Structure 1
Amino acid sequence: MRAALEGVRAFSDAMDRMHTGLRGDMDMNATDLSALRMLSIREQHGELVKPHDLARHLGISSASTTKLIDRLAKEGFVVREPHPNDRRALVITLTESSRADFGRHFAARMARMRGALEPFTDGELRTIIRFLDEMSEALVDD
């Protein structure tokens, strides 16, 4: 168990270093990058993101969220759009250029991660997925 937890720590450290590199490459702060990552992940799952979802995810106030969204919109990373089912609400989405920029900076890393997964069987990958899901749940305070 200790070796597994040390592996998680090493993986977490590698993720931190990757995000530091991405922040430098994309010339943005940690909160901005976290917001874009969250939007990208939620988009991949087909989930809409309202400003309060972003605030809750980042642990920031609604005023700070407004400033964040204003900044990201001004820089062309996100747009505010009407919620498809609630005329009173807005959703925040990535722009096409933001998706392309994110993909460009992440493509080589994704290729290396896919290469690292190739030797594993489908059964092993299911175990890895289950492990990562359980670790993710263990880390989040609800």
Structure 2
Amino acid sequence: MTTPWVPQTPHQQAVLDVLLNIRALNDAMDRMNGGMKDDMDMNATDLAALRMMIVREQRGEPVSPHEVAKHLRISTASTTKLIDRLETAGYIERHPHPRDRRARILTLTAHSRATFFRHFSEHLEQMRQVTEPYTEDELRLIGKYLADLGQAIDPA
């Protein structure tokens, strides 16, 4: 597309309104993450790695250095430096993999969890309060839409 899209129908205007609201949400999330990144004295990639590990931990899924590299789309050398930084700062620990003695898994430290949730707990509560009034059917639809949108943006 070489020219801006201009809605021609009420439906197209509604689509544009939703997309503009998603952009505003993304900007708000960037500001929220930026504040945490600054408070924790880390770069955006370090914070993204911790967020990924928090989500995986909540699902009960182990995280390997390879999975961090794949998620962040960075080289193994960059991943090693990132893991070293996070370990030195006391945010993660390396452990032997439970089934593969050659491999390692990464875990969050209690300090990391406490710091992460101290920064995000108020935001998460506010987001929960906004989400709570929706019906289960509405939430399933919103969830499907967000998952579909995420897949369209990043099919990996």
Out of 9, 16, 29, the position equivalent to 1:15 is: 29
Q: Percent identity?
A: 54
**Counterpart residue identity of residue 122, structure 1:** E
Shift of residue 141, structure 1, vs aligned partner: 4.2
Tell me the TM-score normalized by structure 1: 0.95
Residues in 1 aligned to 2:52 and 2:46: alpha-carbon distance in whole angstroms: 10
The correspondence of residues 18-97 of structure 1 with structure 2, limited to 5 A, is 18-97=32-111
Give the aligned CA root-mean-square deviation in angstroms: 1.1
Pairing 1:105–2:119 present: yes
Q: Which amino acid aligns with 1:63?
A: A
Q: Which runs of 5+ in 1 are unaligned?
A: none
Gaps of 5+ in 2: 1-14
Give the deviation of 1:13 after TM superposition: 1.2
Runs of 4+ in 1 over 6 A off after TM superposition: none
Equivalent position amino acid for 1:28 in 2: M
TM-score where L is the length of structure 2: 0.87
Q: Which residue identity is paired with 1:21?
A: G
Select which of 116, 122, 131 maps to 1:117. 131
Structure 1 counterpart SS, 2:42:
coil
Query: d(CA) in 2 for partners of 1:102 and 1:131?
Result: 27
Q: Which has the larger Rg?
A: 2
What is the CA-CA distance between 1:16 and the residue it aligns to? 1.0
CA shift, 1:25, in A, is 2.0
